[in-house]
Amino acid sequence: MRLPVFTHAACLAHDTGPTHAECAQRLSAVTSALRECYADLDWREAPKATRGQLLRVHEAALLHAVLETRHADAIWLDPDTVLSPASAEAGLRAAGAVVAAVELVMNGEAERAFCAVRPPGHHATRETAMGFCLFNNIAVGAAHALDKYGLSRIAIADFDVHHGNGTQAIFQDEARVVFASSHQMPLYPDSGYVHERGIGNIFNAPLPPRTDGTGFREAWRERLLPQIDAFRPQLVMISAGFDAHQRDPLAQLRLEADDFAWITAALIEIAARHADGRVVSSLEGGYDMEGLRESSIAHVAALRA
């Protein structure tokens, strides 16, 4: 079965300005690399998320700020996060991609799916767009799986170099979701400490600057993967950030593309044991174009294996 990849041209129209790290060229780098390497991918157009789907994890005030603010030019929601006239549709398509991917795997039409979308999502909290993120795409998809398909155990694995504070905050009191994250510390957003445990469903592995693939794999092998495996998830979801790559300008971890392939394969193994192979992955960070291309190729190679 060909790997479904959800994306949409609207995600390219989200205009963050000429010098912003989270730019349209990121998504172009990913999609062009995947098209060049893999002729057998099943490219699909991401639908828009509905208000109801967004309201499962976000407050109405956030939807109003992103979807109903009228502005002719770009405005800054915080020092990092931009809202341009085209951003609302991009945000809806990015979240909608994850919902559509969840439906695909839950309906048995595919085992795994990848969402090549922007803006990223894992920093967005229930009430706040932040850290380049408008809506929390992976959280919207997970909540959809809980509500529509009645799942009782979903694991979200986040290997972006920045901690997914929004995802953690949304699910820290939700016993049906385990959230496991590796991330550099210290680094934005200054969360993801080991003592942050939620109701026993949050597992963080902060990594010091200059940690390489050996340290990254050890953290997942010894600390995070066993927790996910013990949870016996019915669906595995991945916040696939590639800014822990050694080339990335926004952080100081030293991962290579093979490390992303390794963690992806490890999560697929857990999904095979407990979730009938169901895995949904969505693009998060990654700000060096070469590193982003290499990493997305490696990640998708594992997903399509």
Other Cβ atoms less than 10 A from the Cβ of 286: the count is 30
Structure tokens at 304: 């399509």
**Known catalytic residue at 144:** no
Residue among 8, 58, 123, 299 flagged as catalytic: 123
Compute the distance between CA of residue 263 and CA of residue 270 in angstroms, rounded to an integer.
11
Query: In 3D, which of 271, 265, 241 has the Cα closest to residue 255?
Result: 241
Catalytic residue IDs:
123
